[in-house]
Amino acid sequence: MERNFQATVGNRCGLTFLFFRPIFRPPSAQANGEYPKNRGNVAEAADHSCRHFRIFQGGRMAKINTGRVILGGIVAGIVANLLGYLVDGVMLAPRWAEGMKALGHSEFSSNAWIWFNLLGLAGGIVLIWLYASIRPRFGAGPRTALYAGLAVWIVGVLLPNASLLWAAGLFPANLTLMTTLGGLVEVIVGALAGAALYKEA
């Protein structure tokens, strides 16, 4: 479909150039007033548009560097996991213990924390893959990492917490709010750390 689109637009650019070529205004014609200015301006605009299309058509999206995605993703996951432990395992630990007790469960087990960390590593890889995917569109750097981090936070933290923790009434609203905002910091800092290691293939 993309090739057909490019071929169609490219052919139209060629036809446009051929159609407007007789009315392009050379300097001598401008001096003699042989060509209407408005038609010349239309021709110039069409030629300018087609030149931009040819630049777009000749561009190539760089291949995603899988090795760097994995490396940056692991780093992003480790950073997010460490911050997550400080937020949920230290600062909010008493609140989580109260919430779990209200549900009739004990505190999070070591197996649960291992599972959380594995999910964090997987989320970090997805995060840097998303960064690499949108990098050609938004450019390399912290701003693009911020975009990727916000997207992952919305899908992976905000929406699940809002639906499973708060809307379902499993945990208090203040605990849900604090862990969700803490997750924002975790994901953004992890995104910046992981994106700093990524380079195109």
Instruction: Domain ranges for the chain, please list them.
Output: 2-58, 66-195
- Residue labelled with tokens 């899908």: 155
Quote the pLDDT of residue 33. Answer: 52
Angle at 103 between CA 101 and CA 106, to 5 degrees: 45
Angle at 147 between CA 145 and CA 150, to 5 degrees: 105
Distance CA 43, CA 25 (A): 9
Two structure tokens written together for 114: 């291992």
Give the helix ranges, DSSP H, for the chain: 2-20, 27-32, 37-58, 66-84, 93-102, 110-138, 142-153, 159-160, 173-195
| Ordered mean pLDDT values, 10 residues apiece, the chain (201 residues) | 44 41 45 48 45 40 89 98 96 93 86 93 98 96 98 97 86 93 98 96 76
